[in-house]
Amino acid sequence: PPSADWKGDSDANPHFKSLGKLSAPINRKIEPYGAQFLAYARRKRHGRTFSEDDRI
């Protein structure tokens, strides 16, 4: 359970506290096959995000 003195990042966001950062990624190659990849390539080439893509 949260301790009594638990406080969020800010008053604007009282229920969330950020603590750390993700560690560095490594570069790998995705295999350009399958429907999901094609969707990914389309997003990447058009610079869209997931939610933008969802709306289309």
Three-class SS state of 44: helix
9 binds other proteins (CB under 8 A): yes
Q: How many CA atoms lie within 13 A of 5 on its CB side?
A: 0
16 binds other proteins (CB under 8 A): yes
Residue from 11, 18, 55, 56 that binds other proteins (CB under 8 A)?
Answer: 18
Taking the CA atoms of 39, 45, 50 and 53 in sequence, report the sign of the dihedral they define: negative
Task: Compute the least distance from the CB of residue 52 to other proteins, in Å.
Answer: 11
Contact residues for other proteins, defined by CB under 8 A = 1-2, 6, 8-9, 13, 15-38, 40-45, 49-50
